[in-house]
Amino acid sequence: MSIKNNKNNKNKKKEEAKFRFTKADLITKIAKEGGVTITETEIFYNIFEKVLTEAITHYSEVILSVGLGRFVLKTQPAGKLTNVKGKKIYYPESTVVKFKISNTLKQAVKKIKLT
């Protein structure tokens, strides 16, 4: 890879980063809006993440809110794929997590125009 291409890739990554909202961003925003410290918010977030993970692994459906959506466990049937070299790869049946966004969120996202 040339130096020019490497520089272009770094610029592209910086551009893409503008469209990301990370865990740290979320914690900071919640702390500001809630009038609490970042440390308190981070503790709460970590507990929320742990409880949500436990709930998803114990129930077939976890509803976050009417405005956000829900996590649903589904069975993915066994199947086969063909890799690029033409070799058949078989995979077993497994349980997967799907997130279904709410109609409220779906409508809000429809109005957004990505550039």
- Tell me the per-residue pLDDT of 31-84, one tens digit each, with 9 for 90 and over: 999 999 999 999 999 999 999 999 999 999 999 988 999 999 999 999 999 999
Q: Where in the chain is the domain with CATH 4.10.520.10?
A: 61-115
For residue 112, the one-letter residue type is I
pTM of the model: 0.69
CB atoms within 10 A of CB 8: 12
CB atoms within 10 A of CB 7: 10
Rounded Cα distance, 90 and 44, in Å: 41
Residue 5 phi, psi dihedral angles, 5° rounding: -65, -40
As given in the structure block, the two tokens for residue 88 are 């058949």
pLDDT at position 8: 64
| CATH class for the domain made up of 61-115 | few secondary structures
With bands split at pLDDT 50, 70 and 90, how would you rate the model's confidence at 111? Answer: confident
